[in-house]
Amino acid sequence: MLELLIVRTLFILYQLSLALHRALWCNCTTAQCEKTGSRCETDGACMASTSFINGLEQHIRICITRDNLVPPGQPFYCLSAEGLLYTHCCYTNYCNSLDLKVTSVTSRPVELVAVVAGPVCLLCVLLIMAVFLFQYHQRAYSHRQRLEVEDPSCDHLYMAKDKTLQDLIYDMSTSGSGSGLPLFVQRTVARTIVLQEIIGKGRFGEVWRGRWRGGDVAVKIFSSREERSWFREAEIYQTIMLRHENILGFIAADNKDNGTWTQLWLVSDYHEYGSLFDYLNRYSITIEGMIKLALSAASGLAHLHMEILGTQGEGVPL
């Protein structure tokens, strides 16, 4: 019984060995295969390939030996190249008789159109956004320019090269209206100020100490988002008869716009001790000093509520 089992096992192994080494017949188009009727025998695989070179299709059918089927699972001889070469390997007799077609890259216009149209569309969108932003800045700039129309009746106040800050303040206090300098002069002053250091920050922007013709000035810089606050404050400062010794002295209002960013400036007198809050936190004051502070504050408030002719009996709103 054991001997019969061994014989059967050996027979099965022999049949498997014959199957593994059985010859594989393939179609062959090479010159060497003309003697054998355009066929070849191999222990590996049959291969059919179609190449597309210089606009012409070339068909090749050959045998590949077992030694050339490397690496296992994806032999080099069986690889294809998109648009140039299409290769097919098979493992049954004459299985490489099929006709293969190479898919040309130019036969896919949809992908080509997408590759070209995508960047063009993106560029168009960017150009439209750039034009929109440019027009927006132009409109905003034109709106601010309307605030700067100079008064032709004030030609005598145009800036002289030798005029100092003290002369400027004197002109403002004796010009008659008490509403400050003409807008043309304000622009001239604001655009020749040299910022020195930042001395404070607030909700609407920053406060800097600046220099103009040897004198110190305070420059309150608003961001473009706070244009309405800047306009309102500048409008209040330029009210008739507002200038008073107990009210912060207004000098100029202007905007700085270079096309990419905008700053709105409000220039006033500079006080080295800062605000009343800063002064009280830094220094101790006497009773006499407190009386002087209270008197100056009351005088300023009284002036703000003073009746101004031509304004229907109303003072400046606080």
How far apart are the C-alpha atoms of 205 and 182, rounded to whole Å?
25
User: In the prediction, which pLDDT does 110 show?
Assistant: 61
User: In the prediction, which pLDDT does 295 show?
Assistant: 92
Runs of H (alpha helix) within the chain = 2-20, 109-145, 165-174, 183-190, 227-237, 276-282, 287-304
Least confident of 2-6, 80-84, 184-188: 184-188
Classify burial at 157, counting beta carbons within 10 Å of its beta carbon; exposed 0-12, middle 13-18, buried 19 or more: middle
Cis, bond preceding 71 (omega within 30 deg of 0) = yes
Q: Is 161 annotated as a binding residue?
A: no
**Amino acid of residue 207:** V
How far apart are the C-alpha atoms of 247 and 268, rounded to whole Å?
11
How far apart are the C-alpha atoms of 318 and 315, rounded to whole Å?
9
How far apart are the C-alpha atoms of 211 and 208, rounded to whole Å?
10
Scored b (16 or more CB within 10 A) or e, 265-274 reads bbbbebeeee
What predicted TM-score, i.e. pTM, was given to this entire model? 0.42
pLDDT digits (tens, 9 = 90+) for 5-58: 665 665 555 454 544 556 889 999 888 888 888 999 998 899 999 887 777 888
How far apart are the C-alpha atoms of 91 and 25, rounded to whole Å?
9
Does 205 have pLDDT greater than 90?
no
User: Token digits for 38?
Assistant: 């355009």
How far apart are the C-alpha atoms of 250 and 295, rounded to whole Å?
21
pLDDT digits (tens, 9 = 90+) for 118-139: 888 888 889 999 888 888 777 6
User: In the prediction, which pLDDT does 273 show?
Assistant: 85
The backbone region for 38, taken as left when phi is positive above 0, alpha when psi lies in -120 to 50, beta otherwise, is left
Q: Domain 23-105 - what CATH class?
A: mainly beta
CATH node for 164-276: 3.30.200.20
Strand partners, 56: 53
Domain boundaries, given as residue ranges, for the chain: 23-105, 164-276
User: In the prediction, which pLDDT does 118 show?
Assistant: 81
Least confident of 135-139, 170-174, 255-259: 170-174
pLDDT digits (tens, 9 = 90+) for 66-100: 888 888 888 888 888 877 788 889 989 999 888 77
How many degrees, rounded to 5, is the angle at CA 309 between CA 308 and CA 314?
Answer: 45
